């Protein structure tokens, strides 16, 4: 997921996140009836929680970068409009 986000392949990263959640849900379902498996699932849950926070932070960073690019694009568009309006006056 990190690689997909760095490569700005956001749709693929989102699909990967969804697939990951489905796999986690299936693991929990499989281990729910096995006492010895529950401990392993609990350990996995802790590791996944840490990974999830890292993914959220990475996604937030990319979200912020995209917002900044859109803001710059909006400013450039407004500047272009102002230039076209002003150039027509002369």
Q: Has residue 83 got a pLDDT over 80? A: no
- Predicted confidence band of residue 69 (pLDDT cuts 50, 70, 90): confident
CA distances 83 to 53, 71, 75, 80, Å, are: 45, 18, 12, 5
User: What pLDDT is recorded for position 51?
Assistant: 84
Give the C-alpha separation, 40 to 36, whole Å. Answer: 7
Match 């529950």 to its residue by tokens: 38
Across the range 25-48, mean pLDDT stands at: 80
Residue 13 near residue 1 (C-beta atoms within 8 A): yes
> What total of structural domains would you count in the chain?
1
Instruction: Please count the residues of the chain.
Output: 90
Q: Has residue 89 got a pLDDT over 60? A: no
Q: Has residue 23 got a pLDDT over 80? A: yes
State which residues form the domain around 27: 2-89
């Amino acid at each position: 997921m990190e690689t997909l986000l760095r490569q700005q392949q956001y749709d693929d990263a989102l699909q990967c996140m969804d697939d990951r959640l489905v796999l986690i849900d299936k693991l929990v379902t499989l281990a729910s009836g096995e006492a010895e498996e529950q401990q392993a699932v609990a350990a996995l849950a802790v590791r996944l929680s840490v990974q999830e926070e890292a993914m959220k932070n990475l996604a937030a960073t990319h979200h912020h970068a995209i917002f900044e690019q859109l803001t710059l694009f909006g400013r450039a568009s407004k500047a272009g409009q102002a230039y076209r309006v002003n150039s027509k006056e002369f």
